[in-house]
Amino acid sequence: MDHHPDLDMLGRTELFQGVSADALRVIHESATRRQVVAGEVVFRQGDPADALYIVAFGRLRASQTTADGQQVIIRYIGPGEVAGYATLSRGEAHPGTVAAVDDSRLLGWTRAAITQLMERHPVVAMNAVAMLGARYHEMQVRLRELSTEKVERRIAHTLLRLAERAGRRSKLGIEIAFPLTRQDLAEMSGTTLHTVSRTLSGWENTGIVDCGRRRVVLCKPQALVAIAEEAA
Amino acid sequence: MDHHPDLDMLGRTELFQGVSADALRVIHESATRRQVVAGEVVFRQGDPADALYIVAFGRLRASQTTADGQQVIIRYIGPGEVAGYATLSRGEAHPGTVAAVDDSRLLGWTRAAITQLMERHPVVAMNAVAMLGARYHEMQVRLRELSTEKVERRIAHTLLRLAERAGRRSKLGIEIAFPLTRQDLAEMSGTTLHTVSRTLSGWENTGIVDCGRRRVVLCKPQALVAIAEEAA
DNA sequence: CGGACTTTTGAAGTAATTCAAGGGGAGTGG
DNA sequence: CCACTCCCCTTGAATTACTTCAAAAGTCCG
């Protein structure tokens, strides 16, 4: 028998890297599998946090919604990354909604299972600490950007972060590897879709980006870096 | 010998709650003590993250500074709370600067010590996960506020959060229990000290707050909640 | 080819910043 | 105890970056 291809994948995830092959097999067997299609909701803000998922394939989006319906995108979740961190950390409810932006395949564990795994395998707990520390740090950076930078710089930073985490080399430059509307960029940058549209149009005129419907390509990343870092 | 009063304190901190009394004693003995006076820096942004502190007494402030010198206040750190989380989570450098806002007494551990503690005592690792999850969640909420709310609501939220975490009942209402300038409030709310000043003046006229030099008292907290939650 | 999204662009409006100046409080040192 | 000085705070006026409002043009899909 059976070296399931998921085992390699699991061994390289942020949560399970460094776990022994034997333990990985047990972990894998205790997982539930779930397929979601683009647009499908994995869990909703306020749902009880009783499961945690790892993306095996595809991409999810975590967002928070305000009482009056405005959205903020917290992050995109790609292969090997965790959705539903509240399940790790004593949170009772999911703080945000997670939905698929592409057809995706997930592995899931119950709260009881994941708690037991952390207790039994210190490396898993350490990985969880490292992961949450990294996310906390990323949020600090975004908070600082949102507090101190003007819109154009924020949009530049947003695009550069997306390219970093989900960029794909293409003919014209680095392409963001999943569908992304102006509204999405606005919800990541703390502005409106109008301002994003105007800004991208400006950049398109100078050849910095090339974009279309739900698609953005960074043609001159270093020009974007210059905008993101500029003193003003 | 010796039931050191710090032991009780340690057993109630976010990081060491639930640890056995024996283990607590060992943990306590491996700590270094440090006194800081108001204004003193504990560590600076960019310093190697080789130590973690717990506040035994007093209060610290964690902030991030931009290349051009603007500051953002990440959080205030009160008794029982952790400063220097990067030491837990594989961060190489402290992502922000931590300084004392009141004279404070700290207990510190090296990175090696804290890593060993997490490996040896699963409950410590679980506490670390819970703590970082809570902080990550708090940042998500702040990011959402900063993205979607107008200044007045943000300042109201900021004050309510401060009151929640460091409020002290006084004759006039709930007083924020440490010195707090308009500039500080601005750096927490993502605005300027001028706007904070104007907003507080307005609230003072309607009796919602009472404030002076480095001091704020919430006289009508529910009025502030109304402002923070209002539809507009 | 119809219909639903998504995107663009102009024009008007405004919330908040920036610029500027002055007014207090608290501590210090004479 | 008073005066000096350093912060901190306040308030007005001008400016502006961005949003909001409005309309139309693309683009994709069934």
Give dist(CA A182, CA A39) in Å, integer: 17
Looking at residue B232, its pLDDT comes to: 64
pLDDT at A2: 55
* Judgement on whether residues A85 and A157 belong to the same structural domain of the protein: no
Minimal CA separation from B147 to chain A, in Å: 5
pLDDT at residue A4, as a whole number = 76
B96 and B59 part of one domain:
yes
Question: Looking at the structure, do residues B76 and B177 belong to the same domain, yes or no?
Answer: no
Strands (E), A44-160: 51-57, 60-65, 71-77, 82-83, 97-100, 104-110
Do A81 and A130 share a domain, yes or no? Answer: yes
Q: Which residues of A touch B139 (CB under 8 A)?
A: 136, 139-140, 143
Q: What is the mean pLDDT of chain A?
A: 96
Residues 133-172 of B with CB under 7 A from strand C: 150-152
**Chain A / chain B CB contacts < 8 angstroms:** 132
Last residue of a domain, one of B111, B146, B181: B146
pTM beyond 0.75, yes or no: yes
- Maximum CA pair distance of chain B? 61
Q: Are B210 and B176 in contact (CB under 8 A)?
A: no
Positions 21-80 of A with beta carbon below 7 A from strand C are: none
A136 and A165 part of one domain? no
Closest CA relative to residue A158, chosen from A178, A132, A195, A187:
A187
* A70-101 residue pLDDT tens: 999 999 999 999 999 999 999 999 999 999 99
Let me know whether A201 and A221 are in one domain: yes
**What pLDDT, on a 0 to 100 scale, did the predictor assign at position B2?**
55
pLDDT at B74: 98
* Across A177-206, average pLDDT: 98
A132 shares its domain with A157: no
CB contact under 8 A, A119 and B122: yes
pLDDT score at B190: 98
Both B131 and B153 in one domain: the answer is: no
Q: Looking at the structure, do residues A96 and A185 belong to the same domain, yes or no?
A: no
State the CATH number of the domain containing residue A180: 1.10.10.10
* A87 close to A114: Cβ distance less than 8 angstroms: yes
Assigned token pair, A144: 């600082």
Chain segment A115-164, per-residue pLDDT in tens: 999 999 999 999 999 999 999 999 999 999 999 999 999 999 999 999 99
Q: DSSP secondary structure string, B112-162? A: HHHHHHHHH-HHHHHHHHHHHHHHHHHHHHHHHHHHH--HHHHHHHHHHHH
Based on the fold, state whether residues B24 and B13 are members of the same structural domain.
yes
In a shared domain, residues B116 and B9: yes
Query: Within this chain, do residues A88 and A186 fall inside the same structural domain, yes or no?
Result: no
Q: Where do we find the tokens 């003007």? A: A150
Give me the half-sphere count of Cα atoms (radius 13 Å) on the Cβ side of residue B216. Answer: 28
d(CA B25, CA B34): 18
Structural domain span for residue A168: 149-228
Closest approach of B119 to chain A, Cα-based (Å): 6
Query: What is the rounded CA–CA span in Å between residue A137 and residue A158?
Result: 15
* CB-CB neighbours of B20 under 10 Å: 11
Q: Which of A130, A146, A162 is the last residue of a domain?
A: A146
Instruction: Spell out, as residue ranges, where chain B has pLDDT lower than 70.
Output: 1-3, 232
> Are residues B76 and B55 in contact, defined by beta-carbon separation less than 8 angstroms?
no
Q: Is A95 within 8 Å of A17 (Cβ atoms)?
A: no
Final residue of a domain: which of B146, B165, B197?
B146
Q: Is the dihedral of CA B188, B190, B193, B198 positive or negative?
A: negative
Q: What angle do CA B118, B166, B173 make, to 5 degrees?
A: 160
As a rounded value in angstroms, the CA-to-C1' distance for A199 and C3 is 29
**Length of chain B (residues):** 232
In the predicted model, is pLDDT for residue A232 greater than 70? no
CATH of residue B114's domain is: 2.60.120.10
Which residues of A make CB contacts under 8 Å with B?
64, 66-68, 70, 72, 74, 85-86, 88-91, 95-96, 115, 118-119, 122, 125-126, 128-130, 132-137, 139-144, 146-148, 187, 190, 229, 231
Look at chain B and report how many structural domains it folds into. 2
